[in-house]
Structure 1
Amino acid sequence: MVEWDIRKLRILRTLREQGTVTATAEALRMTPSAVSQQLTNLAKQVGVPLLKAQGRRVRLTDAALLVLRHAEAVFEQLERADAELAAHLRGEVGEVRVGAFSTAVPALVVPAVRALRDSAPGVKVRVREAEAGEAYELLAAGEVDLALSLAAQAPVVGDGRFTRVQLLADPLDVALPRGHELAGVPGLRLADLAGEPWIFGGSGPWSDITRGACEAAGFTPRQGHSAAGWTAILAMVEAGMGVALVPRMAAVGRGGVVMRELGADRPVRHVVAAVRRGSEAGVVVGRVLGALEGVAAGVG
């Protein structure tokens, strides 16, 4: 019977995700030679080839994929064991590291932390702000315990490494300069703004969301200016330089900006939380997830 080595299996799984030995070594803080040696030893242990050269990259063999399919169940069970052991040893005491995108920190994470101070004072939350996609890279690498991001940047539902929780559908409102001819028009639709110059980032999730929402409304937005921060975007709107879609969670009042809800074609962005599969059974992680869901219910 094969003596399975969890550490080597984790290296094999990381290689599947990263694609190259060099990237795997960087992700695991190892040397490429150490990664190669561990994988060679694993192949000897299981008695089948696990890797096949493909140009400068390596490809996992069918046998390696079979091994990983069974290993995922082992990883999940180990997460559950860690969670239950922590609950047994510490009860309601523990720390949860949360990776969250910028607007989720003040809108969701901070209110959840405040709520936990009263309901579970032994639960500590350590926050790390991260871009939407980066939060899941941190989660997969074990550098955070819970990731908050947008559904468009989240792992697919079928990804066996994670458990996803839908938190809320955050409406997108349109920001118009005060005095704009459409600022007071009832029943404003996104399509009514097809001829306006739009302000959004040149790339990244918010660019994709803005373009996707406008295209769903029947037009391609003409980008007048590029900006990523809400302070800069709203300042340009206030100056009459264009219009912008702004998530309600991120809206910051400015005297010269009118925020308008859109009609039937109102777009939304979906905010999700994810943990490594199995860890949701832990008391402390469950407390933080519950607090986030409670805040999200109030926001929605």
Structure 2
Amino acid sequence: MDWSSVQLRSLVELRRRGTVTAVASALGYTPGAVSQQLGALERSAGVPLLRRVGRRVELTDAGLALAGHAQRILDIEAAATAELEHSAGRIAGELQMALFATAVAEILPAMLARVGETHPDLVVRSRELVVDDVYDAVASGVVDLAVGLEYPDVPIRRDPSLRVVLLYRERFSLAVPAGSLPWDGPVSLARTGPPLGWILPPEDTHYGLAIRTVCRRAGIEPELRHEVVDTAVSLALVEAGIGISTVTDLMLRLRPSRFDVLPLVERFERHIVAVVRASAEHRPNVAAVVEVLRDLARD
């Protein structure tokens, strides 16, 4: 049989995600392109791999069986890539990487400079993704490595195919319009009721769910005034006196802002992590970049 890695990965991701649209989003293709890859794989296999159920497609028994083998083939391919990198005896070639917005602004420039100094033959290609999508990007093989976030208050279900490496921890503080609270010491979330409305990300994001979880544990229901995804926009709204939000040091470096930053009594933190596939964690190129990220975190 003649098939490609893209075809096999499309099949594996269809088993994982359930819809062609979700597969296309994960792999960075159009739904039509994914359908073409799956159709070509089905023709090569010579047996039906998909069946239409309403407006969706699902895997047949043969499709499910081949998806299991496809995952093992992709793992073997990753192991072969690692072996070739080891045999080269040096860090060279290309590495695909994904980062969330704050990491792109604050971590990527320093990381690329350090990689350029220590591994001049390695080319790192990066893409910015929504932070909640970086795990899927690694799991699907779209990228070799990602910098993502974890919130201890809302643990992400660990995919056994992934390895998550803690780089460093950031504790959240409270960002409030200048002079809006009559103290400058630690403040409890329980003291943030009206008239201080909240600027928050949507509840269906890990960050949005985490801050709501911490607030409810403190005994309050945050009064949502503005639902905002972009951190820089949230900071601008706080500066304009529109409401309050939570911030970390890394978030504060996104833009110069004039507002009060108060320590929180409640412990609310996030972990900045490196995410790699288990089958690729020992690839020299991947391990080298993870070590650079660890060095930057220590610095």
> Normalization by structure 1: what TM-score?
0.80
Q: Distance in 2 between matches of 1:22 and 1:194?
A: 41
Q: Distance in 1 between matches of 2:169 and 2:57?
A: 40
Q: Which runs of 5+ in 2 are unaligned?
A: none
Question: Which residue in the other structure is 2:216 paired with?
Answer: 215
Question: Which residue in the other structure is 2:173 paired with?
Answer: 173
Structure 1 residues 243, 50: closer, same or farther in 2, change over 3 A?
A: same
Answer with 124-133 or 84-93: which moved more: 84-93
Question: Which residue in the other structure is 2:16 paired with?
Answer: 17
How big is each residue's C-alpha offset from its partner over 1:138-163, in whole Å with a ceiling of 9 and x where there is no partner?
43554432122223699742342x33
Following superposition, the deviation at residue 85 of structure 1 comes to 0.8
Contact 1:99-1:146 at 8 Å conserved across structures = yes
Secondary structure of the 1:135 match is helix
Q: Distance in 2 between matches of 1:51 and 1:247?
A: 47
Question: Which residue in the other structure is 1:261 paired with?
Answer: 263
Structure 1 residues 213, 23: closer, same or farther in 2, change over 3 A?
A: closer
Structure 1 residues 102, 33: closer, same or farther in 2, change over 3 A?
A: closer
Question: Which residue in the other structure is 1:273 paired with?
Answer: 274
Q: Distance in 1 between matches of 2:64 and 2:141?
A: 22
Q: Distance in 2 between matches of 1:239 and 1:21?
A: 43
Q: Distance in 1 between matches of 2:156 and 2:139?
A: 10
Question: Which residue in the other structure is 1:100 paired with?
Answer: 99
How big is each residue's C-alpha offset from its partner over 1:61-87, in whole Å with a ceiling of 9 and x where there is no partner?
455434433442332221021122134
CA RMSD of aligned residues (A): 3.2
Q: Percent identity?
A: 29
Q: Distance in 1 between matches of 2:10 and 2:55?
A: 19
Q: Which amino acid aligns with 2:216?
A: E
Question: Which residue in the other structure is 2:116 paired with?
Answer: 117
Question: Which residue in the other structure is 1:147 paired with?
Answer: 146
Q: Distance in 1 between matches of 2:150 and 2:168?
A: 10
Secondary structure of the 2:281 match is helix
How big is each residue's C-alpha offset from its partner over 1:104-135, in whole Å with a ceiling of 9 and x where there is no partner?
12333322223223332333322222211333
**How many residue pairs align between the two structures?**
289
Structure 1 residues 179, 254: closer, same or farther in 2, change over 3 A?
A: farther
Secondary structure of the 1:95 match is strand
Question: Which residue in the other structure is 1:126 paired with?
Answer: 125
Following superposition, the deviation at residue 254 of structure 1 comes to 4.8
User: Matches of residues 1-300 of structure 1 in structure 2 within 5 Å?
Assistant: 5=3, 7=5, 9-20=8-19, 26=29, 30=33, 32=35, 35-42=38-45, 44=47, 50-62=49-61, 64-89=63-88, 91-140=90-139, 142-151=141-150, 156-160=157-161, 162-184=162-184, 186-195=185-194, 196-202=196-202, 205=205, 206-252=207-253, 254=256, 256-263=258-265, 265-298=266-299
Q: Distance in 2 between matches of 1:289 and 1:107?
A: 16
Structure 1 residues 228, 158: closer, same or farther in 2, change over 3 A?
A: closer
Q: Which amino acid aligns with 1:278?
A: S
How big is each residue's C-alpha offset from its partner over 1:179-235, in whole Å with a ceiling of 9 and x where there is no partner?
233441x33222221332111245663433332332232221112234333333233
Secondary structure of the 1:30 match is helix
Following superposition, the deviation at residue 31 of structure 1 comes to 6.6
How big is each residue's C-alpha offset from its partner over 1:20-71, in whole Å with a ceiling of 9 and x where there is no partner?
4576575587373562352254253xxxx64454333233345543443344
Secondary structure of the 2:220 match is coil
